[in-house]
Amino acid sequence: MNVQFLNEQHKSRFELARSSMPAMQRADRSKLAFIFLITGDRSLRKKVSPYIHLKDGRFLWPDTIVDRAFSDHRDALLTLAMQFLSNVKATAPIHLMDDLSDDQLKLALNAIIVRRTGIAEEQLYDKTDERYFYYM
């Protein structure tokens, strides 16, 4: 299954965040799905900004994030993001369909794909690019 980003800006934000993560965390599909969600939704990114600093690569994971400050179950996208980190299996599909806009639903479904199958790292350099051969 191919993962679809909302736009090029979402893709570049995600790649920047993933590249700033420690190597072991890049393989964690739950964390990648969480990062996929927050890089695609501005309001969600603002809510987690005290804990997640995408540009610096500072990530405070579930122990600090999953607390009563995020117990607002009216925000379906935030609930899904928190469930990716806590491995709770509680979000009903009908909850996602009813409460999310079209773009948010697309984002949520693709984040679920990332959580299930992971996401392949793309080549950083095109093999026809001379910089690729310089670093070989």
How many other CB atoms are found less than 10 A from the CB of residue 88?
Answer: 11
- What the block records as the tokens of 95 is 């909850």
Is pLDDT above 70 for 78?
Answer: yes
Whether 84 and 61 have beta carbons less than 8 Å apart is answered as no
Question: What's the confidence (pLDDT) of residue 2?
Answer: 86
Query: What's the pLDDT at 126?
Result: 46
Higher pLDDT, 90 or 109: 109
Model pLDDT, residue 123:
40
- Render pLDDT for 28-45 as a digit per residue (tens, 0 to 9): 899 999 999 999 999 988
Please provide the average confidence, as pLDDT, over all residues in the chain. Answer: 79
